[in-house]
Amino acid sequence: MKIRATLAALALMALPWMTPQAQAKDDLVIGVAQFPSSLHPDVDAEVVKQYVLGFVTRPITAYDKDWKNSCLLCAQLPTLENGLAKLETVDGKPGMAVTIKLRPDLKWSDGHALTTDDLVFTWKIGKDPASGFTNGHPWGEIKSIDVLNASTAVLHLDAVSYRYNTWDTLLPAHIEGPIYDKAGNAAEYLKQTLYNRAPTTPGLYNGPFMITTYQSGVQVVLEPNPSWPGPKPGFKRIVIKLIENTAALQANLLSGDVDMVAGEGVGLTIDQVIKLRDQYPDKFTYIFRPSLTYEHIDLKIENPILADVRVRKALLHAMDRQTLVTKLFSGMQPVATSWVNPLDPNYTKDVPTYAFDRAKAKALLAEAGWTPGKDGICVNKDGTRLSLEYGTTAGNRLRELEQQVLQDQLKAACIEISVKNEPPRTFFGETIKKRLYSGLAMYAWSSGVGESPRRTLHSSQIPTQANNYTGSNAIAFNDARMDVLIGQAETELDPAKQKAIWAEMQKIYADKLYVLPLFYRADPHVVPKWLTGYTPTGHGDMSMLWAENWKSAQ
C-alpha cells in the first residue's frame, strides 16, 4: 500500500499542470544598472529613483500609455470644462482655482488615511525655495489652499497655468510632518527625512507596493501594500537588483538570475537589446518604445575654453552623430536638435542645426584662436592645449563606446578629450547635482508630456550651495529672454500660441549651445514571455505607475 501511494504521489507530481514551471510566479527580479542616490520623491531628479518609486508612490495625476492625463490619487480630473478648474483674480492678477478631489479610500502603507492634510503639508514644504524640490514650481504657484474636507481642497494659483491639472506626489504629513517641525526649516528637514534615513518605515508609501528591504547600492525589495485599495498586485515580492556593469547585467538576464531588466534607460543599452533579439528571438519579449528621453552632453560654460560659442559650435560640427546612431543603434534613435522631441506637439524643426563638417569645425576653432600644434592638438597663442574632460556613467558599455567614437572624432578636429567616468550614484548625486564637472558631461533627460523646461533651463533652477542644490539646471543656462518665455509658456492656454513660444525657446537653446544634443532615445525593454500587463509609456510617467496590473501568466 505504501509503495502504491508513493507511486501515485509521484505520478501527480509529474503532471504538467503541477510542475513548478506551470505555476504562477510569486516573485519578480528586475535588474538595473543604476541605483538611486536618495529615495525622497521630490529631491534629486534621477530616472532610476523615479523607476523605484513608481512601484510604491502615486502622483495625484499622470499621463498614461496613450499620453492622456489621468487621475491616480484624484477621483476626477479637474478641467475648465467640468468646472473643477476656474479662472479667478488673485491679489489683483489673473489666477486659477483648482479643486482637487482625492479618492476617499486612499491610505498610506501603515493604514493611515491619505487626506488633504498631506496635500497641505507637501505644499508647505514645496513652496519653500530652500526645500531642494526638483520640481517645486507647481507648489510655488499655489497662493493659498481652502480645505473643504478630508478629501477635497481648492488650490488658489497666483497665475494661470497650462498644467493646472498636473500634480505630483504627496508626502505623509503624519510621519514627515513632525520631522519637518523639529528640523525647523526645509534644508535641515532633508537631512532628517525618513525616506533617506529609514526608507522601510511603514507609512511612507501609498502605491500598490511598499519598500520592505533597502540595501544601499545592492537591492530594494518590494512587497504588496496591505492598505492599497486598488487591484491586488500580481506579485508577492519584487526585487530591484543593482548590477552596474551592463555586460554583467545581460549575463544575469540570460542565466535567469534576473527575470527582466528595467527599460526606462537604467537597464541594458539599446545595442545590447538589438543583439539579444537577434540571438535569442524567442527567449524574451522585446519592446523598443520611442520616448521623450533626450541623450546629450552638458558643457561647463565657466570653463574658459567652452565660454566661446565658436568652440561650442566647433565641437558639434566635429561630431558625426548620424553615423553614430546608424552604426550603434541601427538608426532607431534619431539625431537630436534640442531637448524637445519630434513626438512632442511643441516640437519645431526651424532651429539652427550643426551637421557634421570637420572643415567648418576647424575654421571656427581657428577663428577663435586655436591652431594645430606639433602633435595635432590645437593650442592658443598662450600655448594652452585645447583639452577637455569628458565624463559619464561608468559601467554603461554603450555610453563608454559612444565616448570612444566621439573622442576619436573630436581628436580629428584637433580637440583633445580625456575620459573621467564615475559610478552613476556619484555622477548624478554629486558631479551633476553640484556642477562639479569641468568640461563635458553626458547623460539623459527624461521629460513628461508637455513638461515645462523650467527645471533644466530657468535661471532660478541653477543648483548652488545657497539654494541647497535645488533644480536641475546643471548647465547654468542663464538667459533673461528664456526665463520670460518659460513663464509665458506656463501661463498660456492657447495651443497655437504655446507652440510659437516653444519654437522661440528651442531657437535660443540651439543658438547658445550650452548643450550638445546627441539623440532621442528609444527605450529598449526586455521582459519575460510570461509577464502580462506591462505597458511602456515612453515618457516621464513610467510603466511602474500601473505595476499593480503586472501579472505572471505561468
Per-residue pLDDT of 24-83, as tens digits, reads 689 999 999 999 888 999 887 788 999 999 999 999 999 999 889 999 999 999 999 999
Which part of the chain has CATH 3.40.190.10?
24-38+46-51+192-289+524-552
Mean pLDDT of 127-144: 80
Query: Stretch 10-23: mean pLDDT, rounded?
Result: 39
pLDDT at 249: 94
Render pLDDT for 149-161 as a digit per residue (tens, 0 to 9).
Answer: 999 999 999 999 9
* Nearest of 229, 224, 176, 225 to residue 39 by alpha carbon: 176
Query: What is the structure's pLDDT at 117?
Result: 98
What pLDDT was estimated at residue 419?
96
Query: Taking a C-beta distance cutoff of 8 angstroms, is the pair 293, 521 a contact?
Result: yes
Task: Kindly report, as residue ranges, where domains of CATH 3.90.76.10 are found in the chain.
Answer: 63-173
CATH of domain 24-38+46-51+192-289+524-552: 3.40.190.10
The whole-angstrom separation of Cα 81 and Cα 543 is: 29
Phi-psi group of 231: left, alpha or beta (phi > 0 → left; psi -120 to 50 → alpha; rest → beta)? beta
DSSP class of residue 232 equals P
Helix H or strand E encompassing 213: strand 209-215
Q: Position of cell 488615511? A: 113
Cα angle at 282 between 279 and 285, to 5 degrees? 100
> What pairing do the DSSP bridges indicate for beta strands 440-446 and 387-391?
parallel
* DSSP annotation string for 162-206: TTTT---B---HHHHHHHHHHH-SHHHHHHH-HHHH-TT-TTS--
User: Residue 215 CB: number of other CB atoms within 10 A?
Assistant: 11
Residue 554: per-residue pLDDT? 65
Does residue 356 carry a pLDDT above 70? yes
Q: What is the pLDDT of residue 137?
A: 65
Q: Which fold has domain 290-522?
A: Dipeptide-binding Protein; domain 3 (3.10.105)
* pTM of the predicted model over 0.85: no
Q: How confident is the model at residue 23 (pLDDT cuts 50, 70, 90)?
A: low
What ranges in 65-216 are assigned the alpha helix state H? 116-126, 137-140, 173-183, 186-192, 194-197
The H or E element spanning position 219 is strand 219-224
Q: Work out the pLDDT band at 476, boundaries 50, 70, 90.
A: very high
Average pLDDT over residues 529-551: 93
Predicted local distance difference test score (pLDDT) of residue 8: 39
pLDDT above 70 (res 93): yes
Asked whether 265 and 508 are in contact (CB, 8 A), the reply is: no
Which part of the chain is CATH 3.10.105.10? 290-522
* 369 secondary structure, DSSP code: T
Amino acid at 69: N
CATH, range 63-173: 3.90.76.10
The torsion angles phi and psi of 495, rounded to 5 degrees, stand at -60, -40
